[in-house]
Structure 1
Amino acid sequence: MDFISSILQDLLNTLFSFTGDLGIAIVLITLMVKLLLMPLSLKQRFAMRKQQDLVGQMSHIKEKYKNNTKELEKQLQKHSAESMKSMLGCSTLILQMPVVYALYNTFLNMTQVSSSALIPWISSLNVSDNLFIIPCIYALTMLAPNLISFIPYFKASTQIAFNKQMAITTVIMSFILTAKTPVSIGLYFITSSMYSLIEDVCFRIYVKQKNKLSIN
């Protein structure tokens, strides 16, 4: 872990020297790490979608073979095996954690005292945002993935129903998480969340187009 943190710290210093703005350097290094981990992230998204599809298929099978116990058991065993494979695909998130944690730790232990043109109302990225603008922005970026599901084009047939209580909890926890932390951490969280949102939108568009082609 220390080895990864050391590499990321050196990269951050290089980007800071090149851009002359620590905030921009943080955004760039966050995007670089996200792009590096994109294959794992996409694999996780495909696995989660497959898991959702299998849940829908399972309900259909139970209804279809409700009067045929032998065939029902056979079909359920088959789909249970497929479900286990897709769950293993979701475990790719675990493989990302060491790098993500090292990146977070790099920003948390930053020694540079610098402002950024991206956040002009803050004198140093090592302090928290007393105006709470960063926490509000982060809370909104965390809520956005739930809101785009209301756009008809992005709505999936196997989509999990919107949970208002969960959405409110997400907003509150996101605000609390960044309210007293250094702005550098908040900037990292916002960049990471925005990247995930864009990746999610692109993934949904890809799935929609793929489904259209399969139908045609």
Structure 2
Amino acid sequence: MLTGYKFESIRALRSENVIAWEVLSTANPHVDLEDYFGSMSLAQRKAHFFAQLRHAMFCEAGEKYYLNATSDLLLETDFLDRIKEETPYPERLAIEVTDLHALVQLNDAQSLTLRICIATLHQWGIEAWADDVCEDILPNLLTSQIRFCGIKIDKHTFWSGRTEQAKFLHLTRQCKRVASKVLIEGIETVGDFELARASVADYGQGYLWDKT
């Protein structure tokens, strides 16, 4: 089903320099990756995450890599121990929490455990990011006690900004209230790039640069 890995560049919006790479999976043409990962058990997702981590840690020295993970994976009792054991270069790793809507469903104990996990990652030099942030989830992030290093704005939210620019630029400013770093996904055209640069966002990612 899965055939390997690919890397999407993450760029500084001011210079367009590559500052990191997101590690993504490839699959056979008939496979819908979103459905595929949605059907995986926690144990399977856990095995896949650590396989990606081992692959990233043995890639080119000095590069930084972003890996996706769900909150239930971070809540696993052995997650921090395995991360510490299998991450020889913590400064080269960032973890994107992909299921932000699930955070509001956590009970108090789970929420506390997740906050401690993310704070511990930060202490080790591993960044934790909120992935696919949109208008609907932002109020929950603003009131949450979870402190992320960065926010990635969902590409569909960004694309809506093509016609509602003032609304989008306000959203990016709100994101800065949650995290010090903001990344915009889905930059596909020169116009997209100009809109992203007009915002307070720091980084960009998209087809404009990764066309293969």
TM-score by length of 2: 0.32
The structure richer in strand per residue is 2
Greater Cα radius of gyration, structure 1 or 2: 1
The structure richer in helix per residue is 1
Higher relative CO (Cα under 8 Å, sequence separation at least 6) belongs to 1
